[in-house]
Amino acid sequence: MLDLIEKLKEKFKSDLSQIKSLPEVDKLKIQYMGRKGEVADLFDRMKDLAPDERPQIGKYLNELKSYLNTETENLLFRLQKKSTDSQLDLTLPGRKPFVGRKHPLTKTMDEIKSIFYGMGFSVEDGPEIETDYYCFEALNMPKNHPARDMQDTLYITDDIVLRTHTSPVQVRVMEKTQPPVRIIAPGRVYRRDTPDASHSPFFHQVEGLVVDKGICFGDLKGVITAFAHKMFGSDIKVRFRPSFFPFTEPSAEYDFLCVFCMGKGCRVCKNTGWVEISGAGMVDPNVFKYVNYDSEKYTGYAFGMGVDRIAMLKYGIYDIRLFFENDYRFLEQF
């Protein structure tokens, strides 16, 4: 009996080695492992054995059966793999991998940062959930000051707000550093506004602050003008108009020549030839008091900058809401 088992194994091995196709494997399976196959035949013969031989032979037969099973499964796997490999059509056009890209606002922010890096500024960060103290109080806007009405604020509690501007970072930076200070602070800000083509309840600003001995308004004009030229080209003029902000004195608003009509007047600039960018001015000595800077020794300028506005000018976008809708057809253009 042992002899028969060994012979069957050898025969199986040689049959297996001849097989080249999937249907042949099926045939082999039936021939050896089928209900009336060769293994079953050997099991049948067990009844002719002496009872004390049966357990040992039974064990050998089971081992044979599992050996045949494993070998046919392995072969099946190899043949199936070969057949899918051969279905691989190398002439099919490739599928382009999906490549993400930067959001136009991130690109604009990166460009603004790199221009100011080039002028020796470093970048600072501040919280979007801000205290009333940093957002208003320390910027010379005490409670009930009418200037607070300029910014429709989203209050969390009486003392905690979503920051309405990036100016609080000025105070945070001055609290922890001594002059000279030369920073920008980019980030998201929030106001209670109904969205339309030019308003969004959240948008982006870059704050600028320079404090040192002998800083004057001319420095501010020089830096803003250099920025305008780097960002939009050297024929973009800058103008400053008198204005009021509680944290600067004197204060101004500044405009860039409209990049679309170059001053002739168009839809974007509402026929004025100029596009308003933000406010700026010389740091009010009252703000210096809050951070213990000596206003007899130091002067400084500060400015804001509307990033969304700049991105709209840069890329010719007419509706601020497009930035936030996450429509792939819009975003893939940048």
Least distance CB 283 / ligand DAH (angstroms): 7
Q: Please choose, out of 97-105, 116-124, 287-295, 301-309, the segment that lies near ligand DAH by the rule CB under 6 A.
A: 301-309
For ligand DAH, which is the closer residue by CB, 39 or 204?
Answer: 204
Tally of CA atoms within 13 A in the half-sphere of 20 that contains its CB:
1
Residue 55: CA atoms inside 13 Å, Cβ hemisphere, count? 1
Two structure tokens written together for 210: 């320079």
| Residue 31 or 286 with smaller CB distance to ligand DAH | 286
Q: How far apart are CA 84 and CA 242, in angstroms?
A: 75
* Closer of 171 and 231 to ligand DAH (Cβ): 171
**Closest among 5, 35, 24 to 75, alpha carbons compared:** 24
Cβ burial, residue 245 (10 Å; 0-12/13-18/19+): buried
Identify the CA nearest to 54 among candidates 63, 64, 45.
45
Give CA–CA dist 131/122, Å, rounded: 24
Binding to ligand DAH, residues 241-280 (CB under 6 A): 245, 248, 278-280
Tokens linked to 49:
């054995």
Q: What is the distance between the alpha carbons of residues 15 and 18, in angstroms, rounded to a whole number?
A: 5
Residues 104-143 that bind ligand DAH (CB under 6 A): none
> DSSP assignment, residue 53?
T
Residue 32 or residue 245: which is nearer to ligand DAH going by CB? 245
Tokens read off for 23: 């249907």
**x-marked contacts with ligand DAH along 191-230 as a string, rule CB under 6 A:** ----------------x-----------------------
For residue 303, state whether it binds ligand DAH (rule: CB under 6 A): yes
CA pair distance 268, 274, nearest whole angstrom: 9
* Min CB(293)–ligand DAH separation in Å: 16
Nearer CB in complex with ligand DAH: 280/313: 280
Determine which residue in the list 302, 307, 312, 320 makes contact with ligand DAH, applying CB under 6 A: 302
Longest dimension (CA), the chain: 117
Question: Could you tell me which stretch among 152-160, 194-202, 296-304, 315-323 binds ligand DAH (CB under 6 A)?
Answer: 296-304
Give the residue with the Cβ less far from ligand DAH, 72 or 164: 164
CB of 100 to ligand DAH, least distance (A): 31
**Binds ligand DAH (CB under 6 A): choice among 72, 108, 140, 167:** 167
* Least distance in angstroms from the C-beta of 306 to ligand DAH: 8
- Nearer to ligand DAH by Cβ, of 228 and 302: the residue is 302
3-state DSSP percent of the chain in helix, strand and coil, to 5: 45, 20, 35
Residues binding ligand DAH (CB under 6 A) = 165, 167, 207, 245, 248, 278-281, 302-304
